[in-house]
Copies of this chain bind each other. A is one copy, B any other.
Amino acid sequence: MDISAVNALSYEDFVNIFGNVVEKCPLITAAVWTSRPFISLNALEATINEFIDALPESGKEGILRCHPDLAGRDLHSGTLTRESREEQARAGMDALSSAEASRVARLNEEYKRRFGFPFVICARTTDKTRIWRELSERCQNARAAEMARGIEEVKKICRLRLQGLVLSDAPNKL
């Protein structure tokens, strides 16, 4: 799909295709449709990032709270979004030993109790070892730093999801 095809989409098709580039936040996708035409995929991504940056702090926390836990309840009950399921599987989160599963559950709870939002990491650009280290280390961060870090990870996830949707069948067109 080249960018002219993206720009030609009705808002309904645009939201159907791109509605989950920010996890469970089709509102953001639906909002940026207003800014079309986009000159490139990067311009679409930048518009999404600007929308996120302009939200009040509570809105950024809201975005984080729409994310599932890593190796958490949604993975075990099969209720992850397709995108999250693929990303968590790629990082090995669906095949943890029982000791690893207990450890991640404990750290997730500690993180959420401390910050009031879940630990968010772009699983596709990391691996299990680094996820364990980050989950332990980031629990120690100040809240404001950790919120900024979570939003950075949301943007990385968004970038990869966008690329996956747009570039898969036309790698050189955007």
Q: Please report A residues at the B interface, Cβ cutoff 8 Å.
A: 10-12, 15, 24-35, 51, 54-59, 61-66, 112, 116-117
Interface centre among A32, A66, A116 (most CB of B within 10 A): A66
CB-CB nearest 5 A-B residue pairs:
A31-B62, A30-B65, A30-B62, A34-B58, A31-B58
In whole angstroms, how far apart are the Cα atoms of A128 and B146 in the complex? 50
In whole angstroms, how far apart are the Cα atoms of A58 and B32 in the complex? 7
What is the count of identical protomers in the complex? 2
- Residues in chain B near residue A10, CB distance under 8 A: 112
**Besides A11-B117, A24-B26, A30-B61, 19 new A-B residue pairs in contact (Cβ under 8 A), listed by A number:** A11-B112, A12-B65, A15-B65, A25-B27, A26-B62, A27-B27, A27-B59, A30-B62, A30-B64, A30-B66, A31-B55, A31-B62, A33-B61, A33-B62, A34-B57, A34-B58, A34-B116, A35-B58, A51-B56
With contact pairs A54-B56, A56-B54 given, residues A62 and B117 touching in the complex (Cβ less than 8 Å): no
Smallest Cβ-Cβ distance to A36: which chain B residue: B116
Q: A59's contact among B31, B61, B64, B66, by CB below 8 Å, is which?
A: B31
In whole angstroms, how far apart are the Cα atoms of A32 and B56 in the complex? 11
